[in-house]
Structure 1
Amino acid sequence: MSDTSPPVNIEAAPQGGFIDAIVEIAGARSDAPQTLGHVVDALDDRAFGLLILILAIPCLVPGLPGAQLIAIPIFLLGLQIVFGRNEPWLPGWAMRAKLKPEWLTAIADFASKRLRWTERLSRPRWRFIAHGAGEKILGLIIALAAVTIMLPITNTIPSLAITVAAVGLLQRDGMFMLGGATLALGWITALGILIFGLITGAGFAASFVADHAPWVAEWFK
């Protein structure tokens, strides 16, 4: 079945600050639910950064139901930055995903009230990080951070890292890009150590029980 909902009605691509761009996208929608594809069509040359930011904001909510699904488009967008795509591509199911007006409004309100400081503090700088290889490395880190969002109840910290990184992409701010990358890598490392510890700890415990207290294993038979 084809999507018959009306497209986002924006006279021109938003050219002001990125927070105002998000507010404009939310304010330009009709009362009918829009699709993610309509939002993508409304974005300008900052599409990657804006789209990643719009997707990351709701994932900041701890334990958000559905964060695992939202992380999939973020993962795909991160990989596309790595491979140097000029325009974002998402699979059909993602482009057809409905975005309720209230959801877009909530994202815009959060961005306007809580993220204005990032717009004030960020600016084009550290261009050796903000372009070329630095941008591709950041795309890979965003993709890896998105993978950790897919794990149960682990979405807030990586989403914050992705949000900061997305601001860096939008503003061509190498400092914000580095900050987001550092937070993401720190989280990925900590999570990896925790998972490794749980796996090795469980293996050690099982081995210890088998060698020294085999009667414990009988409880679980």
Structure 2
Amino acid sequence: MADDSTALTDVVEELEDASQGTDTVKVGHLIDALDQRGYGAALAVLPLMELTPLGGIPGFPTMLALLVAILVLRMFMGYEHFWAPDWLRNRSLKSKKVLKSVEWLKPISEWIDEKLHTRLAPLTGSTGRKAASILILCLCLAVLPLEVVPFATSVPMVTISIFGLALLYHDGLLMLLGFAATGIAGFAGATLLLGG
């Protein structure tokens, strides 16, 4: 197995490299940068982007949830490489905002790299991935109605990121945490939508 001691930081740096040199960066360019690292990397980093300055752009959490849902469907179906429709790939983001978000994520990624490692790896195998895929799709569906509540979309996005980190590091304990967090996120989301 490849060394994963800088796994998440490497992914963040891939996004940084993909965003430099132009005023805008297409979503497809970022997808292609993540494709080299696999589903775990994409599912770990993309949801965290919702917590950065990019998350303040109206509609961004929903676009992010849609992209994550498409990627997770591909993972569930066993495809190795990412795909997204052209209308989503051709969406542009300001490079300055993407780079600012990446800078915000770097110290977090370095801290995570220090803490996480392979453990209970069988839980991140094929069955675990399929179970996680179903739950991630449910979390993605929750983002659209939650976007009207300030900061509420952070709950499902962080939960999705936990699953992504579990896959990236082959960390079965983190996968179990993702299952537990999904239950908590589901309860919190229902409480918010039903007005307590």
TM-score class, shorter: 0.7 to 0.9
Q: Judging by fraction of residues, say which structure has more helix.
A: 2
1:124 paired with 2:118, answer yes
What are the within-5 Å matches in structure 2 for residues 8-157 of structure 1?
A: 17-28=7-18, 29-60=20-51, 64=56, 65-66=58-59, 67-151=61-145, 152-153=148-149, 154-157=152-155
SS at match of 2:119: coil
The percentage of counterpart residues that share the same residue type is 23
Max radius of gyration: which structure? 1
Larger mean CA deviation between 20-29 and 173-182 belongs to: 20-29
Detail structure 1 runs of 4+ shifted over 3 Å in the superposition.
Answer: 61-64, 192-195
User: 1:135 deviation in Å?
Assistant: 0.9
Kept in 2: contact 1:78–1:142 (CA 8 A): yes
Deviations 1:161-200 (A, max 9, x none): 11222111111111222212321222113433664x56xx
Kept in 1: contact 2:14–2:34 (CA 8 A): no
Q: TM-score, normalised by structure 1?
A: 0.72
Q: Distance in 1 between matches of 2:131 and 2:192?
A: 24
Kept in 1: contact 2:136–2:160 (CA 8 A): yes
Q: Distance in 1 between matches of 2:100 and 2:175?
A: 25
User: 1:61 deviation in Å?
Assistant: 5.8
In the superposition, relative to structure 1, how do residues 91 and 161 fare at CA in structure 2: closer, same or farther (>3 Å)? Answer: same
> For this pair of structures, how many residues does the alignment match?
184
SS at match of 2:46: helix
Backbone CA RMSD of aligned residues: 2.6
Q: Distance in 2 between matches of 1:116 and 1:126?
A: 22
Greater RCO (Cα-Cα under 8 Å, separation 6 or more) = 2
Q: Distance in 1 between matches of 2:181 and 2:175?
A: 10
1:159 paired with 2:157, answer yes
